[in-house]
């Protein structure tokens, strides 16, 4: 049948995944591997960039083998990645000078406080669409250059390269030949001017980051180079698409029209609304970000970033050991009809949108002698839905658009109880597609469009198929009451850490 498969590499926060798609957007094979989470201090999160690479290339080979195809049957590779996570490496050796600093890491909160104290937040907001927060790459690069012995001298001599994970993987896949990123990833660095579409000289100066470190910014659907046969299954395959995982999910959900939105429930939860060529400035704590660069222009999105979602379920599993597997959360939550007033606020790494409080910390509130494991498990699941409600309210206020239905995806959407509660608390239908691996699908689409596997975005829309629609069935008064309790609980968790 010729080369009609597309391989998506989905490098997430907790695992590296590779998925082979056919031209009908069907999943032919999946391989996945978790990798080490490194917590050197409270609030710090790192990954080993070499382990990211070895797990990613490992699952790529495994997925191709499982699909029963050969590397030469792959028309293109698309990359999608946990965003903001920062790698700095030596140009000559390819060796990272430090572990990757993960998006969740709070170590640069003091740098952000200084920038805010200097009154620079409005400048950053205006140019980058982002808030000054440790979440983004800019202050992480600065931290590496300021704290890793010898790093700044090498950077100033042009011997180091910076990249988010897309850049790191493309550089490795091409055998160290190509140093690029795409518009969507660049827009998460706090270094990129989303209006002028270039690295911002004033910001680079302020953060003391030499421009020589930075990758070339390219469209999200474009042939960046080919794989080095020595590293990728002996074949030269075009690497033809890249996008941050949340933007890729927006693309995979075929949210191509302004006003269309999706919410992805993974480690964190990220709601994005396509705003087309319009750049909305949020007045309600959301981010303005680039959705993708495609067909010679960029399109924008409004984003609500929630730092802890599925990770709270992992905490129930690994930290509290209340459940054995993530899906068990549904089983225990079902044992009670509601949380009886218990709220879990999973502000483990502060709070993102719409609060942006780096000093918030997790809290369980409303406990009584009658509170049980089931109540805590249920309250943890509910917290994903409440945080989503916070963000959707902000998005509707910013855009003036009332959502008719919310498209969802990501690991936690298999939880039916959560999806029903989500619909109940929003008062909006929740639509779960058959393919919930929309992040990988989006990356495959971007790559496939660049090499002609698919001809146009319109071709893709018909591939989106509904699995289940969850309709709101909660009484409005109950909804209001429950949400009021959540807002009270959030206030108690805020501004906690000194």
Neighbouring CB atoms inside 10 A of 233's CB total 16
Cβ-based nearer residue to ligand G3P, 12 or 293: 12
Question: Among residue numbers 306 through 345, which ones bind ligand ADP (CB under 6 A)?
Answer: 310-311, 313-314, 326-327, 329-330
Token couple for 204: 């680079």
Measured CA to CA, the distance from residue 417 to residue 378 in angstroms comes to 9
Task: Tell me if 14 contacts ligand ADP by CB under 6 A.
Answer: yes
Site pattern 52..91 for ligand G3P (x: CB under 6 A)? ------------------------------xxx-------
Q: Which residues, numbered 242-301, are part of the site for ligand ADP (CB under 6 A)?
A: 266-267
CA distance 386 to 487: 9
Q: How many CB atoms lie within 10 A of CB 69?
A: 19
Q: Does 442 engage in binding with ligand ADP (CB under 6 A)?
A: no
| 414 touching ligand ADP, by CB under 6 A | yes
- Give the closest residue to 299 by CA, choosing from 260, 265, 354: 260
DSSP code for 38: B
226 interacts with ligand ADP by CB under 6 A: no
Per CB under 6 A, does 268 bind ligand G3P? yes
Q: How many residues bind ligand ADP (CB under 6 A)?
A: 19
Q: Is 105 helix (H, G, I), strand (E, B) or coil?
A: coil
**CB-based contact 225:178 (threshold 8 Å):** yes
Q: Is 420 annotated as a binding residue?
A: no
246 is in an annotated binding site: yes
83 annotated as a binding-site residue: yes
HSE-CB for 373 with a 13 A CA cutoff:
12
DSSP codes of every residue in 247-273: HHHHHHTT--STT-EEEEESSSEEEEE
Smallest separation (angstroms) from ligand ADP to the CB of 433: 14
Nearest by Cα to 220 from 197, 202, 200, 204: 197
397 vs 407: CA distance, rounded Å = 19
Q: Which residue's CB is nearer to ligand ADP, number 154 or number 407?
A: 407
Q: Is 438 in the site for ligand G3P (CB under 6 A)?
A: no
Establish whether 135 is an annotated binding residue: yes
C-alpha dihedral sign at 53, 54, 60, 63: negative
Interior angle at CA 367, CA 363 and CA 371, nearest 5: 125
Bridge partner list, 74: 5
Q: 80 or 226, CB closer to ligand G3P?
A: 80
- Binders of ligand G3P among residues 298 to 327 (CB under 6 A) are 305
329 binds, among ligand ADP, ligand G3P, none (CB under 5 to 8 A by kind): ligand ADP
383-412 residues in contact with ligand ADP (CB under 6 A) are 410-412
Partner interacting with residue 354 (select from ligand G3P, ligand ADP, none; CB below 5-8 Å by kind): none
Binding mask 198-237 for ligand G3P (x = CB under 6 A): ----------------------------------------
C-alpha to C-alpha distance for 219 and 182, rounded to whole angstroms: 5
* Half-sphere exposure in the Cβ direction for 391 (13 Å, CA): 30
Can you say which residues are annotated as belonging to the binding site for sn-glycerol 3-phosphate? 13, 83-84, 135, 245
Can you say which residues are annotated as belonging to the binding site for ATP? 13-15, 267, 310, 314, 411
Can you say which residues are annotated as belonging to the binding site? 13-15, 17, 83-84, 135, 245-246, 267, 310, 314, 411, 415
Positions touching ligand G3P (CB under 6 A) are 12-13, 82-84, 103, 244-246, 266-268, 305
């Amino acid at each position: 049948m010729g080369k009609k498969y597309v391989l998506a590499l989905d490098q997430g926060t907790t695992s590296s995944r590779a998925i082979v798609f056919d031209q009908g957007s069907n999943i032919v094979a999946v391989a996945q591997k978790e990798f080490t989470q490194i917590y050197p201090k409270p609030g710090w999160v790192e990954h080993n960039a070499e382990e990211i690479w070895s797990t990613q290339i490992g699952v790529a080979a495994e997925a191709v083998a499982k699909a029963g195809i050969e590397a030469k049957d792959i028309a293109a590779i698309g990359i999608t990645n946990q965003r903001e996570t920062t790698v700095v490496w030596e140009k000559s050796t390819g060796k990272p000078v430090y572990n990757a600093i993960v998006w969740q890491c709070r170590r640069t909160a003091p740098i952000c406080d200084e920038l805010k104290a200097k009154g620079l937040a409005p400048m950053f907001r205006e140019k980058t669409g982002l808030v000054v927060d440790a979440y983004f790459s800019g202050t992480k690069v600065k931290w590496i250059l300021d704290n890793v012995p010898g790093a700044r001298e090498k950077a100033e001599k042009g011997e180091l390269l910076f990249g988010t994970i897309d850049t790191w993987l493309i550089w490795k896949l091409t055998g160290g030949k190509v140093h690029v990123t795409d518009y969507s990833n660049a827009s998460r660095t706090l270094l990129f001017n989303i209006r002028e579409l270039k690295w911002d000289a004033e910001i680079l100066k302020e953060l003391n980051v030499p421009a020589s470190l930075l990758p070339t910014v390219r469209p999200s659907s474009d042939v960046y180079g080919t794989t080095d046969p020595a590293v990728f299954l002996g074949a030269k395959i075009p690497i033809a698409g890249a996008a941050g995982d949340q933007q890729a999910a927006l693309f995979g959900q075929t949210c191509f029209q302004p006003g269309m939105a999706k919410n992805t429930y993974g480690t964190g939860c990220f709601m994005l609304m396509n705003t087309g060529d319009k750049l909305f400035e949020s007045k309600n704590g959301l981010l303005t970000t680039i959705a993708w660069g495609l067909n010679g222009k960029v399109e924008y999105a409004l984003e609500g970033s929630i730092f802890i979602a599925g990770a709270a379920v992992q905490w129930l599993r690994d930290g509290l050991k209340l459940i054995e597997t993530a899906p068990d959360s549904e089983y225990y939550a079902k044992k009670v009809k509601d949380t009886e007033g218990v709220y879990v606020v999973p502000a483990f790494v502060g709070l993102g949108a719409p609060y942006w409080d780096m000093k918030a910390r997790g809290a369980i509130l409303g406990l009584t002698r009658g509170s049980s494991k089931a109540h805590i498990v249920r309250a943890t699941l509910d917290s994903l839905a409440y945080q989503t409600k916070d963000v959707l309210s902000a998005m509707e206020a910013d855009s003036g658009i009332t959502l008719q239905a919310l498209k969802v995806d990501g690991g936690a959407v298999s939880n039916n109880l959560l999806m029903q509660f989500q619909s109940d608390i929003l008062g909006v239908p929740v639509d779960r597609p058959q393919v919930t691996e929309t992040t990988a699908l989006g990356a495959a689409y971007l790559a496939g469009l660049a090499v002609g596997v698919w001809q146009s975005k319109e071709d893709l829309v018909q591939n989106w198929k509904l699995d289940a629609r969850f309709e709101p069935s909660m009484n409005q008064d109950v909804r209001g009451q429950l949400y009021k309790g959540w807002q009270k609980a959030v206030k108690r968790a805020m501004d906690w850490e000194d």
